[in-house]
């Protein structure tokens, strides 16, 4: 047996050994060797349509889990990316958030299954990317909204560069160039704790620290929020369309260096 034949046999054996097909009331449950972040194998269903064809369907948890991981389906950009990923493989999702294929002939099930698995993996990767970028995206949103209502006496600049734990945004007084506030866009627990550390380590003459906290979709836990609040960290809460948090930020900035704000 040649080297190519040996590799071919090994790969076919590995892929086939990891595949499990089980009859279920709706059709067939197919478990693959690809693992999801929770440790469970990537699985899907093969469902007969009563006319000799099948359609493929996930377990209904792919998109809900992606949303929980930070994928915002209300964002035209991210929702468009998702639909593009699915459309590439001939798939779509419905109001119940289940991912489905169109009708597939029996002799095309193998190729359709490969495309389906590819789409589920890409959707998972999109969710992971969203989770990693959610903090940066939230900071961009905060910077944009503050810039739109920036008082004449202040300037705004990006805070952190090389230092990942530094403030996301710095407000400066236009007349003196001194810092008026250091702003942390707390789109998750980690950034909220960064803000708390900065707040607790400040000297009497330092500019105020404030955390703009995203309370939507549970991105900041209640425990971390209460801890920061109880320790006196100035907080501006983003929990909807109400722009009151912007006034809170500028109110803290107006207190000046060395003035405690609670």
Q: What would the pLDDT profile of 217-229 be if each residue is shown by its tens digit?
A: 667 888 899 999 9
Mean pLDDT of 102-129: 87
Task: Find all residues with CB under 8 Å of 202, minimum gap 6, and list them.
Answer: 209
| Predicted pLDDT at 261 | 39
- Of residues 124 and 98, more confidence is placed in 98
Q: Are strands 235-238 and 209-214 parallel, antiparallel or unpaired?
A: parallel
Task: Determine the Cα angle at 253 with ends 252 and 256, to 5°.
Answer: 100
| CB neighbours of residue 62 within 10 Å | 21
Q: Map residue 100 onto helix, strand or coil.
A: strand
- Show the tokens assigned to 159: 């805070």
The pLDDT tens digits for 22-60 are: 999 999 999 988 877 666 788 999 999 888 899 999 988
Mean pLDDT across the chain: 84
Q: Classify residue 41 as exposed, middle or buried by CB count within 10 Å of its CB (0-12, 13-18, 19+).
A: middle
Q: What is the pLDDT of residues 84-115, one digit of tens each?
A: 999 999 999 988 899 999 999 998 998 999 99
Q: Looking at the chain, which residues constitute the CATH 3.30.1460 domain(s)?
A: 3-133
Would you tell me how many other CB atoms lie within 10 Å of the CB of residue 167?
25
CA distance 204 to 196: 16
pLDDT at 260: 40
pLDDT at 217: 63
Q: Tell me, what's the pLDDT at 139? A: 86
Position of tokens 């095309």? Answer: 108
Q: Would strands 27-35 and 20-24 be described as parallel, antiparallel, or unpaired? A: antiparallel
Reduced to 3 states, what is the DSSP secondary structure of residue 212? strand
Would you state the structure tokens that stand for residue 89, as one six-digit string? Answer: 């493989």
**pLDDT at 262 (0 to 100):** 37
Check pLDDT > 80 for residue 129: no
Question: pTM above the 0.85 mark?
Answer: no
User: Is there a contact between 48 and 27 (Cβ–Cβ < 8 Å)?
Assistant: yes
Question: How far apart, in whole angstroms, are the C-alpha atoms of residue 8 and residue 212?
Answer: 55
**Token output for 62:** 């792919």
According to CATH, the topology of domain 3-133 is Yope Regulator; Chain: A, (3.30.1460)
CA-closest candidate to residue 204, choices 257, 163, 133, 167: 257
Question: Cα Rg for the chain, rounded, in angstroms?
Answer: 25
């Amino acid at each position: 047996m040649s080297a190519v034949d040996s590799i071919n046999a090994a790969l076919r054996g590995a892929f086939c050994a990891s595949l499990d097909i089980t009859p279920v009331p709706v059709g067939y449950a197919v478990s693959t060797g690809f693992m999801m972040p929770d440790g469970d194998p990537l699985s899907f269903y093969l469902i007969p349509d009563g006319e000799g064809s099948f359609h493929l369907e996930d377990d209904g948890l792919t998109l809900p889990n992606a949303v929980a991981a930070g994928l915002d389906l209300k964002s035209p950009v991210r929702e468009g990316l998702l639909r593009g990923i699915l459309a590439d493989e001939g798939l779509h999702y419905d109001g119940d958030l289940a991912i489905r294929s169109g009708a597939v002939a029996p002799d095309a099930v193998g190729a359709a299954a490969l495309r389906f698995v590819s789409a589920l993996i890409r959707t998972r990767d999109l969710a992971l990317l969203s989770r990693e970028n959610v903090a940066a995206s939230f900071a961009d949103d905060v910077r944009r909204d503050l810039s739109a209502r920036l008082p004449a006496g202040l300037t705004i600049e990006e805070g952190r560069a090389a230092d990942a734990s530094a403030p996301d945004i710095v407000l400066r007084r236009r007349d003196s160039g001194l810092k008026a506030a250091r702003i942390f866009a707390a789109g998750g627990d980690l950034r909220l704790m960064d803000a708390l550390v900065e707040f607790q380590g400040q000297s009497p003459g330092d500019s105020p620290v404030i955390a703009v906290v995203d309370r939507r979709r549970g991105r900041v836990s209640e425990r971390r929020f209460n801890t920061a609040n109880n320790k006196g960290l100035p907080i501006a809460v983003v929990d909807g369309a109400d722009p009151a948090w912007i006034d809170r930020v500028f109110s803290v900035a107006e207190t000046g260096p060395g003035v405690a704000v609670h």
